């Protein structure tokens, strides 16, 4: 008998034969098409209309953040010093007078004097800052014993034109280059100099080129109601020879610069000077500019790109750590589980803001701000993922297929990652879709509060943009509006998308509908 037992493993192959090689099975053949788990989930996901819409919006936002920083003519480092917190303006659209993208700002209670000031800019530079007069109010005022009608206007002004002329100090070489550019393009940048002695000693207003009656810069009109130019013709103070475009009405006597210790001081029309500085491009800001003078459109793209990449990276790392940690906890259970659970209990008890701060204080000098920010996220971020994996492992580890695999001699790691883990995969991946918006939210909050400043690394971030915008809520609401809209849309669509995925993948809802 014992002999026969020993030979069980060495039964010659030819002694085996199929029991039912020729027998026909009368079981009905499965004639429906095979559908995989993922295909099934996708089918259910597509039924959820709001999630599908969210997915499309999400795709759009992701593409926005990837394409805009590359396609935009502006770089995040392009910072204009004067176009700061300016409203949205696109020259081509502004010309159509649609009331949008025209860089407009409403100025209330403008009197005749300031209307003349606007007119001065319009007449000199040829760019009228006043888009339209929204409202005119008439008041009767007693003036020199008589009742006089006084008008006050509410106007909409183009902030880009309104800037008018500014003083710039150029070196002789720069001055010559600017003249050459003027000759080449035919755009008047340099305007004749006005001496402050001719305009009641006003030194801080480069837009006055006409005779004024008081130190506030009120214009003096001639008999026909025109402004009277007071351009300087004193050749002796001219800074450098000028051989370029002259403004209409110039007989060649006006001077275009004055000497200023080794350089020249000029009056330039800032709009055209901007074109000169930016290879002929007119200022064009779809969302307006930030308080740093960056293009808000580009800045949002740059900030969002960082947020998204960062969030995906954090989620991927947390997913890996959490999955392994949770797998070990769930698979081994008992003492191991308890000890590991205590560790994650302690780590999860530390407030996130404290973790971030401590990492910034200790590591930012050594490994940089962004890596230490990343570590802060990783330190506590994996805990929820680990808990999830652990739960799934407890659910699956007692099932028959695991026992079967164990009986066949599979090792622990094989059981964990080859047999149990793939079953938990759906739940883990879908929770990842809900982790990403959480990371973006925390990242935005931390940069908003200024605890972490990633501007040197990433250019800017949505949180930084919003905290800058919040400082000027009343004067430049657009600087807060667009980042708010972007981050809200991103969060809403991520959460809707994630919820849709979770519902689609959650096996407990399988077959519930229909």
Partner 1 sequence: MFKYTLQRILYMCMVLLIITAMCFVLVRMLPPAELPPGDPHTEVVEARREALGYNKPYMVQFGIFLQNVFTKFDWGISDKLYFGRDVAQIFFEKLPVSIIVNLYSILFSIPIGIGLGIFAALKKNTWVDYLLSTATMIVISVPSFVYAFIIQYIFSYKLGWLPFLMKAGTDYFTWDMFVSMLPAVMSLSFGTIAGFTRTTRAELTEVLTSEFMLLARTKGLTKAQATIRHAMRNCFVVVVPAIFGSFIGVLGGSLIIERIFAIPGVGGLTINAINGRDYPIFMLTTCFYTAIGLVASLVVDISYGFIDPRIRMGSKK
Using CB under 8 A, list all residues that contact partner 1.
Answer: 50, 345-346, 349-351, 353-354, 357-358, 361-362, 437, 441, 444-445, 448-451, 466, 469-470, 473-474, 477, 480-481, 484, 487-488, 491-492, 494-496, 499
Helix (H), strand (E), coil (C) string for 424-453: HHHHHHHHHHHHHHHHHHHHHHHHHHCCCC
For partner 1, give the closer residue by CB, 261 or 474: 474
HEC string of 306-327 equals: HHHHHHHHHHHHHHHHHHHHHH
The first and second tokens of residue 272, run together, are: 């055209």
| Least distance CB 420 / partner 1 (angstroms) | 24
If the CB atoms of residues 396 and 486 are measured against partner 1, the closer one turns out to be: 486
- Nearest distance, CB of residue 482 and partner 1, angstroms: 11
- Per-residue DSSP letters for 465-506? HHHHHHTTTTT-THHHHHHHHHHHHHHHHHHHHHHHHHHHH-
From residue 434, give the alpha-carbon distance in Å to each of 188, 308, 446, 503.
56, 13, 19, 12
> Which structure tokens are listed for 483?
């980042």
Q: Which is nearer to partner 1, 43 or 471 (CB)?
A: 471
Enumerate residues 6+ apart whose C-beta is below 8 A from 362: 372
The secondary element (H helix, E strand) that includes residue 2 is: helix 2-6
Token readout for 159 is 């902030």
> Which residue, 183 or 488, is less far from partner 1 as judged by CB?
488
Nearer to partner 1, 120 or 469 (CB): 469
Dist CA 437 CA 460 (whole Å): 19
Least CB distance to partner 1 at residue 89 (A): 21
Cα 116 to Cα 72, 201, 215, distances in angstroms: 38, 19, 15
Nearer to partner 1, 110 or 441 (CB): 441
CB of 471 to partner 1, least distance (A): 10
Write down the least CB distance from residue 183 to partner 1, Å.
Answer: 47
* Residue 1, number of CB atoms within 10 A of its CB: 5
Nearer to partner 1, 286 or 472 (CB): 472
- Minimum Å gap between C-beta 309 and partner 1 is 19
CB of 487 to partner 1, least distance (A): 6
Report the residue number, 209 or 497, with the smaller CB distance to partner 1: 497
State in angstroms the smallest separation of the CB of 481 from partner 1: 8
347-385 burial, b if ≥16 CB within 10 A, otherwise e?
Answer: eeeeebeebbeebbeebbeeeebbebbbbbbbbbbbbbb
Q: Which is nearer to partner 1, 69 or 469 (CB)?
A: 469
Q: How far is the CB of 451 from partner 1 (least distance, A)?
A: 6
CB-nearer residue toward partner 1: 199 or 446: 446
Residue 214 CA to its chain's centroid (Å): 46
SS3 162: helix
Q: How far apart are the first and last CA of the chain?
A: 61
Residue identified by tokens 């006409």 is: 210
Q: Report the chain's C-alpha Rg in angstroms.
A: 36
- CB 356, min distance to partner 1, A: 9
How far apart are the C-alpha atoms of 47 and 60, rounded to whole Å?
20
């Amino acid at each position: 008998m014992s002999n026969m037992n020993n030979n069980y493993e060495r039964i010659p192959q030819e002694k085996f034969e199929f029991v039912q090689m020729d027998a026909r099975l009368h079981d009905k053949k499965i004639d429906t098409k095979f559908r995989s788990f993922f295909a099934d989930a996708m089918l259910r996901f597509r039924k959820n209309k709001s999630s599908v819409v969210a997915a499309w919006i999400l795709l759009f936002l992701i593409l926005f953040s990837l394409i805009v920083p590359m396609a935009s003519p502006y770089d995040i480092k392009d910072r204009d010093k004067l176009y700061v917190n300016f409203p949205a303006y696109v020259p081509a659209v502004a010309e159509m007078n649609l009331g949008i993208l025209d860089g407009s700002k409403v100025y209330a209670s403008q009197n005749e004097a300031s209307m003349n000031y606007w007119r001065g800019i319009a007449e000199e530079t040829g760019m009228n800052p006043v888009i339209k007069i929204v409202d005119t109010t008439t008041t009767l005022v007693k003036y020199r014993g008589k009742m006089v009608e006084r008008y006050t206007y509410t106007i909409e002004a183009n902030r880009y034109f309104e800037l008018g002329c500014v003083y710039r100090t150029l070196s002789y070489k720069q001055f010559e280059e600017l003249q050459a550019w003027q000759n080449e393009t035919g755009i008047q940048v340099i305007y004749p100099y006005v001496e402050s002695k001719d305009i009641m000693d006003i030194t801080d207003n480069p837009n006055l080129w006409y005779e004024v009656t008081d130190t506030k810069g009120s214009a003096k009109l001639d008999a026909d109601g025109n402004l009277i130019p007071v351009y300087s013709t004193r050749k002796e103070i001219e800074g450098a020879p000028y051989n370029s475009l002259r403004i209409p009405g110039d007989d060649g006597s006006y001077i275009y610069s004055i000497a200023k210790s080794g350089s020249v001081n000029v009056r330039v029309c800032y709009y055209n000077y901007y074109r000169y500085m930016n290879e002929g491009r007119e200022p064009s800001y779809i969302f307006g500019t930030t308080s740093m003078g960056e293009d808000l459109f580009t800045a949002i793209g740059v900030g969002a790109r960082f947020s998204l990449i960062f969030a995906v990276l954090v989620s991927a790392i947390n997913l890996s750590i959490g999955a392994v940690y949770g797998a070990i906890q769930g698979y081994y259970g008992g003492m191991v589980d308890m000890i590991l659970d205590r560790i994650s209990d302690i780590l999860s008890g530390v407030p996130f803001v404290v973790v971030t701060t401590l990492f910034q204080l200790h590591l930012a000098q050594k490994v940089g701000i962004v890596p230490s920010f990343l570590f802060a996220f990783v330190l506590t971020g994996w805990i929820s993922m680990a808990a999830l994996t652990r739960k799934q492992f407890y659910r699956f580890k007692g099932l028959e297929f695991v026992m079967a695999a164990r009986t066949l001699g599979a090792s622990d790691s094989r059981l964990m990652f080859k047999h149990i883990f793939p079953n938990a995969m759906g739940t883990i991946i879908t929770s990842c879709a809900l982790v990403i918006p959480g990371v973006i939210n925390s990242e935005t909050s931390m940069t908003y509060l200024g605890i972490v400043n990633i501007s040197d690394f990433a250019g800017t971030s949505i949180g930084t943009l919003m905290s800058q915008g919040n400082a000027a809520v009343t004067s430049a609401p657009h600087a807060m509006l667009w980042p708010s809209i972007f981050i809200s849309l991103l969060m809403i669509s991520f959460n809707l998308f994630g919820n849709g995925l979770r519902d689609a993948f959650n096996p407990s809802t399988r077959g519930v509908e229909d």
